[in-house]
Structure 1
Amino acid sequence: MGRKRFIVEFFLAFLAYAACVALSSYQVAVSEEGAGKVAWALLPVPSMLLIAWVVVRQLRAVDELARRIQFDALALAFLLTALVTFSYGFLETAGFPRLSMFMVWPLMGVLWMVCTIMGTRRYR
């Protein structure tokens, strides 16, 4: 899969995700407790799976060097995310405000991006 195609597919999948999050957030706020509210809360999950599928397809389509850079970046991002989240968890026991689990993926995503940039520069 070409880079341009990946960007278009990822953007469209992310757009679907953003729309689902907006609709889900509104519906969860106005829905009564029960199965319907749970279903609305889970509405973004299929679009998240679509994003994952687009990313995995791209990772399978790149050459060995690009795959290695991505694997190394993801592994380092995983480790850094674990260190940051566990460290903050200990700070919460000292009175820091509790953070939502929604903070974990954006942190890992940013770290993955930074580690990918660093890994790409390493092989230039």
Structure 2
Amino acid sequence: MHEKIIGRRYLRELFGAIGVYWLLLAMSIAFGKELPNGPARTLILAAPVFGVALAVWAIVRQMRRVDEFVRQVTLQNIAISAAITASLTFSYGFLELAGFPRVSMFVVWPIMAASWLLIVLVRKITNK
């Protein structure tokens, strides 16, 4: 029962943070592009980072709430996905030197999230 309670709390915190992120993102896109270059434009365009910080805070809180086994498995999954992400992004850097198009840093998180999801699914299927 305790796991369900902390799981629901985590989802509320995380999806609340994601909601703040989306709201700030929409506002920054709507208002930030029209402003002249300067500190105000920079602050408005960077405002969604506050939502990201809230998501990090929710994740850190959840990692402190779960038991040691869940924490260990989660950290293993993160470490493996970080290694996959580093390998892919590093390798693509060489492809850019060979003339491939430059890729934004915005692709790093989706690569890590996708590899993390893949690892979780493989572990569930293989029960490891």
Q: Same fold by TM-score, threshold 0.5 exceeded?
A: yes
Shift of 1:28: 2.4
1:51 aligns with 2:55: yes
Shift of 1:113: 2.4
Shift of 1:90: 0.8
Pair 1:120–1:69, CA change in 2 (3 A): farther
Contact 1:69–1:116, Cα closer than 8 Å, also in 2 = no
Distance 2:120 2:67 in 1: 15
Match of 1:35 among 35, 39, 45: 39
Shift of 1:116: 2.9
Match of 2:118 among 89, 114, 118: 114
TM-score, scaled relative to structure 1: 0.90
The equivalent of 2:71 in structure 1 is 67
1:3-23: CA deviations, max 9, x gaps?
Answer: 122112211110110111111
Shift of 1:45: 1.4
The equivalent of 1:5 in structure 2 is 9
Count of residue pairs the alignment pairs up: 124
Gaps of 5+ in 1: none
TM-score, scaled relative to structure 2: 0.87
What is the RMSD of the two structures over their aligned residues, measured on CA atoms?
1.6
Match of 2:23 among 11, 19, 25: 19
